[in-house]
A and B are shown apart, each in its own frame.
Chain A
């Protein structure tokens, strides 16, 4: 099952002829994602890798290739226009990988996406993956395994770290979603938690938060109010100084708001098991899952497992 993407996902890659777009289009196709179209304005009529038709507009990609999901790899100054275009063309799921999108652009596009009935994931995110079925974005496919744990995170490589540690411990994932590190994002923790709650294959959820904003606190309340499945969490930035932006545009402690401590307290108050280290998530999840998948010999580079 997974969430948001699956066997019926027909993906258009916006920016497919660019450096990142072409590299990751191939990676996604290799993983088994159905990439049905690419879009690069001015390059319509070409064929990408002898397999994927390239169009000038998303509208054509929908009409002629039946695209129903899009992934955006275009540079920051054009990214929000690409999201507008995808939403206008009737794309239901838009995943924006691009980092560095101005927050004023996000203010404009979020209500538009909502009015069109589309879901936006990101920007500044690694995308999402349903192990064994479909990947949209840049998450490394070789570190995931099918299993019962849903993962939702504001980070990129920290998400990979958590996935890798779980997989090495024999715990697979139902879906992994990176929602992005910016202050304004399309899909938040609560949206993902609701989807995991509804997904029959998900038995437990790990929430990977970080400093800045109050999304973790809102998520914690949602968990205690609406969720029957166990949720565990980790919050990065316990040693971050206030007032400084820690890489991610959204990772900043303002006043007393947005500290890791405050978020950890909210998790604990609402019954979310909190890991002090990423490695502690393994034990917390193992205690809460019924049937972990056994495959403890995976390697993060996808090489032959060690005996």
Chain B
């Protein structure tokens, strides 16, 4: 064994404390508001305890990833990618259907969402393939390879159908191509192509998805039905004001205007914004900015190119979730079921986020020391 070979233990000592504290603060805050959102219903009042358990598992996942090291993960990327694709196919075949989408798989009594992990496997393989050379990825060939790698999980997740989770792969792939040095002309062409394909995509949407878009444009078309969430969510956020109504004092949530099942999950931000106001919401966004800053700093200091791309991919994934979720809650985007990283209730996504942060931490731990 070479003397400078980093041991897992030493790597754990070199993690980024800022990112660690930020993530812990977001998770703790999330649990506090899951508690607040779940008080009105017996079924939901235990969620905060469950989330606490999930957070423990997620922390374990993070530690395991740092101990393993991102390089071993990159080395195993093809295998992980194939495994995740196989599990996605299994989900389509044997998965549990909730709300019309077959995106859950039963692992010994625990229901998990394999798509959350498949996205990470795709990022790993993308980082490995785009990072093969040190030259900018200026050729169409690299673009097609990236499209193929992202396309398989994208298609499989779309079949579930879970449009929101699949769509997140788009900005992630674009950001990684961008960081890999792809020509701006090519990127622009891609974006243009995407815009041209939008009408086709509309035809492929399910009835309920189209309804969500229509409701986004005019929530009062069905104020009792599908427009309800959007109207009530905006009312909750708006009534929070500058300072909020205080923890556990959000009347929108308390009176059950926010549908109880989604308040602790996809609409947790409207509970936070109602109870802590503009100040609390801004603090939350600042914490996310700090987390992303840590991620991109890890990218800048990455000891190799695949590592740099990995950090970009993971950071963009987190960013996309945060942005789409917040924009949906305040009515800037149609409603899609994307959870808020570390804050929304949900085991699979919390564990996947822990693993993703572990990758960033591992990169940080491998940073070159000042000479």
Do A and B actually bind? no
